[in-house]
């Protein structure tokens, strides 16, 4: 198999836990479709495959070199991995950042791991003690059934995308890579900022921690070392370190000043020598609730969010380049947004790295669409136990990113509320409680829009695509009396438990259908009537935004959406990220202080 002259997506894929030695395995792999999912019986594990694909792009994406949008019930990958000489005597970890949806990995014909879930990473051992003279053969089978409950996000279950569902992603769609580690090694840390104490708490798992080993964490800024702490590694499953910062070195992370501290994490053996080391970074910031407001670092911060679905014409769910991820944040900021709902997808971690550096506020969400099996009203949502496990993997991966200011495990799980406890009730409550247990530092929204099933959840919200600003204002006005707009079935049957007075925002609105360049016969849609001119579109946008900015109990909003996505053409930008309107007017409509900000007084002082 020829080597790729240029390795696609070559940047380090795990930017908050970096080791110096690693090998990117993106590029050309052998590939074969398995439409009957009979490949194991037909010997695909043991022979060369008939085609090729460019990893990390999925076979449906043009950038993969295949670009086949049809269904792929099972696909197979194969390539060889040569371990560098300098890795001799160490364990070699093989990482898959995301494979959709059920993956099995074999190394030299022996099963090395299995994973279910299309959005989160998993790891296998290449070998317990790598032999630099040995070339490993890695084979991956990915299964992606068309039917049944599955966390698909926006992937269509019809051949062509329609409405708010788009093309599919099957198999490997994020970076594959490997790294050497000693037998006793560091695992990914949890970094918890504590603004009240001007400190970081760093929890570092050390599997197989040995007596005499220690973990050392050093915090630095541009002027040098700020704090250092050590903890024995052999007494507990995880070493926990407390790192208070001197008053003159405290600098909070915020959109205006997204300051990041550098962290170095060392594992010391019994002789005090460094046996494993990794670098990371952290932002010192807090998120809390005060009445109807959400506070950042103790101050009211109106969240001007935009819905970002993270699709690209040539890569589908995979950004064509790392620069494309950063560029999407820049486009949002240019349009006046200070954050985003990362919608129906667990984004590549590199996106969060860029958000951390830009001071961009993010709500992390799970791609839960796919649980609606179309059953009888009141029992149509059938999420499985794997929704909980996949979501917890996402929270664990992204816990330490300062840009994330809230979690949303579910979205628009519409189902009638009745007097029986259903699977949806159990899973919604389970995902909410699991999120709160995994991360007590951020607010959690049980389900965006509907169906709210956790009484007294941290946040309450609604989705409203009314296009007339005057009517929209009347719908939103009930919040002043504690009776906000709540999504319900067409006949008024409730989907959600009642609002309980918690912070509230309209987390989807707008979606104005504006595509002046639409070709005759092109599939195109947005919400409401298409404006007849850009002036009409801009006036509608400003009017809708004004309703929410002027509500003293509204803590934020999320406008639909950043870009067009295939047939859904209601973005601020076109699908290819080019301009289709005067972005400066979109920005200007959002810049005045929100009512909840104007009414705020310093909290916690």
Q: Where are the domains of the chain?
A: 23-180, 190-282, 287-600
CATH number belonging to the domain at 190-282, selected among 3.20.20.190, 3.10.620.30, 3.90.1530.10, 2.60.40.10: 2.60.40.10
pLDDT for the residue 603: 47
Rounded Cα distance, 69 and 61, in Å:
8
* Cβ atoms of 221 and 246 closer than 8 Å: no
Predicted confidence at residue 581, as pLDDT, reads 96
Q: Give pLDDT, residue 128.
A: 54
pLDDT score of 2: 43
DSSP state letter for 469 = H
Q: What pTM was computed for the model? A: 0.96
Cβ atoms of 10 and 88 closer than 8 Å: no
Give the separation between CA 48 and CA 46, rounded to whole angstroms: 7
Q: What is the pLDDT of residue 130?
A: 56
Residues contacting 584, CB < 8 A, separation 6+: none
Rounded to an integer, what distance in angstroms lies between the CA atom of residue 201 and that of residue 244?
A: 9
| Residues whose CB is less than 8 angstroms from the CB of residue 4 and which lie 6 or more positions away in sequence, other chains included | 27, 28, 54
Q: What's the alpha-carbon Rg for the chain, to the nearest Å? A: 25
Q: How many CA atoms are closer than 13 Å to the CA of 8, on its beta-carbon side?
A: 23
What is the pLDDT, as a whole number, of residue 604? 42
Q: From residue 343, how far is each of 29, 66, 309, 425, 589 by CA, in Å?
A: 30, 27, 5, 22, 23
User: Which pLDDT belongs to residue 516?
Assistant: 86
Q: Which CATH superfamily is domain 287-600 in?
A: Glycosidases (3.20.20.80)
Q: What is the pLDDT of residue 21?
A: 97
Which residues of the chain fall below pLDDT 50? Answer: 1-2, 4, 603-605
Q: What's residue 496's pLDDT?
A: 97
Distance CA 215, CA 447 (A): 39
- The DSSP element (H or E) to which 350 belongs, if any, is helix 349-358
Question: Is the domain 23-180 a CATH 2.60.120.260 member?
Answer: yes
- What is the model's pLDDT at position 376? 86
Of residues 136, 55, 46, 45, the one with CA closest to residue 91: 136
In this structure, the chain runs to a length of 605
Task: Return the sign of the alpha-carbon dihedral for residues 290, 295, 299, 305.
Answer: negative
């Amino acid at each position: 198999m020829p080597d790729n002259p240029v390795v696609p997506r070559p940047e380090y894929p795990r930017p908050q836990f970096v080791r110096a030695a690693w090998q990117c395995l993106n590029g050309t792999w052998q590939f074969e479709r398995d439409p009957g999912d009979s490949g194991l019986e037909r010997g695909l594990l043991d022979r060369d495959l008939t085609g090729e694909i460019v990893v990390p792009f999925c076979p449906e994406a043009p950038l993969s070199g295949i670009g086949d949008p049809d269904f792929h019930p099972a696909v197979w990958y194969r390539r060889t991995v040569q371990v560098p000489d300098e890795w001799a005597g160490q364990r070699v970890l093989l990482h898959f950042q995301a494979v959709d949806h059920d993956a099995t990995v074999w190394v030299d014909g022996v099963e090395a791991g299995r994973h279910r879930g299309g959005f989160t990473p998993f790891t296998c051992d290449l070998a317990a003690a790598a032999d630099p003279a040995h070339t490993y053969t890695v084979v991956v089978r990915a299964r992606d059934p068309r039917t049944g409950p599955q966390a698909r996000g926006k992937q269509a279950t019809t051949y062509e995308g329609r409405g708010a569902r788009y093309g599919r992603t099957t198999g490997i769609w994020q970076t594959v890579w490997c790294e050497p580690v000693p037998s006793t090694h560091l695992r990914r840390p949890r970094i918890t900022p504590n603004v009240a104490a001007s400190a970081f708490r760093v929890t570092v798992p050390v599997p197989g921690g040995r007596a005499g080993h220690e973990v050392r964490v050093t915090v630095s800024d541009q002027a040098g070392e700020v704090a250092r702490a050590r903890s024995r590694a052999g007494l507990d499953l995880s070493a926990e370190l407390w790192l208070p910062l001197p008053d003159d070195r405290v600098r909070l992370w915020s959109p205006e000043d997204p300051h990041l501290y550098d962290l170095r994490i060392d594992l010391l053996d019994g002789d005090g020598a460094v046996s494993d080391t990794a670098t990371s970074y952290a932002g010192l910031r807090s998120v809390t609730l005060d009445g109807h407001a959400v506070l950042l670092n103790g101050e009211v911060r109106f969240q001007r969010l935009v819905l970002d679905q993270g699709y690209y014409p040539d890569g589908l769910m995979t950004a064509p380049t790392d620069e494309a991820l950063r560029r999407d944040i820049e486009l949002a900021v240019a349009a006046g947004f200070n954050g985003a709902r990362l919608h129906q997808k667990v984004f590549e971690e590199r996106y969060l790295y860029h958000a951390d550096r830009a001071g961009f506020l993010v709500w992390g969400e799970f791609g839960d669409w796919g649980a609606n099996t179309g059953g009888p009203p009141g029992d149509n949502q059938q999420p499985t136990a794997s929704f909980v496990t996949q979501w917890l993997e996402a929270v664990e991966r992204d816990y330490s990113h300062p840009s994330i200011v809230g979690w949303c495990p579910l979205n628009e799980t519409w189902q009638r509320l009745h007097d029986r406890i259903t699977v949806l009730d159990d899973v919604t409550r389970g995902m909410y409680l699991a999120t709160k247990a995994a991360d007590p530092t951020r607010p959690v929204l049980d389900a965006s829009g509907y169906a709210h099933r956790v009484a007294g959840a941290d946040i309450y919200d609604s989705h409203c695509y009314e296009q007339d600003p005057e009517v929209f204002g009347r719908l939103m006005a009930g919040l002043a009396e504690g009776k906000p707009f709540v999504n319900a079935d067409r006949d008024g049957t409730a989907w959600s438990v009642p609002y309980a007075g918690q912070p509230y925002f309209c987390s989807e609105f707008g979606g104005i259908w504006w595509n002046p360049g639409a070709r005759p016969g092109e599939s195109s849609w947005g919400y409401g009537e298409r404006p007849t001119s850009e002036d009409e579109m801009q006036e509608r946008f400003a009017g809708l935004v004004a309703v929410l900015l002027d509500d003293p109990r509204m803590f934020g909003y999320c406008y639909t959406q950043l870009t067009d996505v295939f047939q859904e053409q209601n973005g601020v930008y076109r699908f290819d990220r080019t301009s289709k309107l005067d972005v400066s007017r979109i920005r200007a409509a959002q810049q005045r202080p929100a009512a909840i900000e104007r009414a705020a007084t310093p909290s916690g002082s």
